[in-house]
Amino acid sequence: SGFSGEVLGINLPWWVFVFVAMAIIAVLGYRQVDLSVKVLAILVSLEFLIVLILDATILIKGGQGGTAPLTATPFTWASFTTGSVAIALLFNFASFIGFEATTIYSEEAKDPKRTVPRATYAAVLTIGAFYTLTTYLMVEGQGAAGLQEYLATLQPDPTAFLFALGATYFGATLTTVMSLLFISSVFAALLAFHNAVARYLYALGREGLVPAQLGHTHPKHLSPHTGSLSQSMLALVVVLIFVITAQDPVLALFTWLTQLGTLAIIVLMALASFAVVAFFARHRDLDSNVLRTTVAPIVGGLAMTAVAIYAASQFGLLIGNPESPLRWILPA
């Protein structure tokens, strides 16, 4: 909505664009996964490219708008403990959400035993390296000193930080392109999440944990079409509630539900880790590797549990209102 008003001169409410995007995602999710994959591949490649161009520019020109050499300040312990560690941890986990989606496409892959593990490790390593490098360079681009105070001036839209750096380092034209690609990146994320939810519902329906009709695929497209339709309807209802009650789309719809969703995913991953241990304790004949079936999932489960408890205890900070009753209502 902001991009349309500022660049195109067309001013429309934010929810108009939301419903248009929702309709496109509903169509893509209903059809075979190949179509979604092609759309995602193009969008993600362009998004990676524009951010890598910014990374390279900061590397070449230096930090603080190109006036100072790069430092190691962001990697110091003092930097790590400054501000809210809970918010940092939750956004960190949010950045990795979706890496496990490789497994839910195993039935649609030609050689899942080989391609799914490779894709999962590649996703984790790529996301980790990309976000670490980019975040470091963004901090250096503005300068670590006074960064929190600067970011406070950008509220309620902290995404403006990326575009401010773009304007400083490579001018207005590429920054406009970056804005457009930021919009497409949110669309790509929503499409990926939509497809993931549809396939989770399909698997749950097939196992009899949700209505059985969700556990069927489309006769022509071979997609989990009922799960896709269910997710589209749920998204429509949730967004309508926020539209009717005139809630701020960034502060309420995005921040509240992103933080809540991330917390829920962490809890689910902890439970899944302990479920792995329980499963192989009952079926030891399926895999004799103790590191893979016991040690790794216990370590992962304990780490996830610790982060989930800490994040839940700090939820008031995460939604930007430490005194709000939502700080315990939402996690509950």
Per-residue pLDDT tens over the stretch 288-322: 899 999 999 999 999 999 989 988 888 888 777 78
Q: Which of 114-118, 126-130, 277-281, 318-322 has the highest mean pLDDT?
A: 277-281
- Gap between the terminal Cα atoms of the chain: 33
pLDDT in tens, 78-102: 888 877 787 788 778 888 887 877 8
Q: Name the average pLDDT for the chain.
A: 88
Confidence (pTM): 0.77
Residues 6+ apart with CB under 8 A from 191: 25, 28, 29, 36, 39, 40
Query: How is residue 103 written in tokens?
Result: 């497994």
pLDDT in tens, 246-283: 988 887 888 788 888 888 989 999 999 999 999 999 99
Asked if residue 178 has pLDDT above 80, the reply is yes
Cα separation, 332 vs 328, in Å, equals: 6
Strands (E), the chain: none
For 100, 115, 240, 303, the CA distances from 308, given in Å and listed in that order, are 18, 31, 29, 9
State residue 156's pLDDT score: 67
Buried b / exposed e along 179-213 (16+ C-beta atoms within 10 A):
bebbbbbebbbbbbbbbbbbbbbbbebeeeebeee
Cα separation, 9 vs 1, in Å, equals: 10
Lowest-confidence pick of 101-105, 150-154, 291-295: 101-105
